[in-house]
Amino acid sequence: MKVTVDIVYDSKGPLMADQVYELAREILPRISLGTVYRNLNRLVAIGLISETNVGSMQCFFAHPYSNTHLECRVCGRLQSVPFDLSLTQIAKDTGLTLDGYELRLKGVCQECADKCT
Ligand SMILES: [Zn+2]
């Protein structure tokens, strides 16, 4: 799953499942196209990535507003979290030229927290 997320987020534009599969095989040579499809569909379902159709081709791209993720330490699932980080303000405060950010929060998701109580 994480490999699939990284591939989609590292890409400058939307990718077709076949392209994700080719890139995933460079990292995990034994991954199957079926696994890539399942991962992509799961990531779309939980809102980490988006899909769109270009003609008859299904393409996947990074969700524009979900560059912040919570990684649950119980079940390992990733979920997108709305997180208001003002790049303009940070750029002003630090003098850095910023054009994006990636953030992974660590903790426990709602579902796992509910099971513990
Ligand atoms: Zn969890």
pTM (2 decimals)? 0.55
For residue 45, which of 12, 74, 92, 78 has the smallest C-alpha distance? 78
C-alpha 109 to ligand 1 mean position (Å): 4
Sequential pLDDT tens for the chain (117 residues): 788 988 988 887 778 999 999 999 999 999 999 999 999 998 887 777 888 776 777 888 876 555 567 788 898 877 767 666 666 777 888 888 876 666 777 889 888 999 987
CATH numbers and ranges of domains, the chain: 2-62 (1.10.10.10), 68-116 (3.30.1490.190)
Distance CA 98, CA 11 (A): 18
CA of 40 from ligand 1 middle (Å) equals 19
Specify whether the CB–CB gap between 17 and 4 falls below 8 A: no
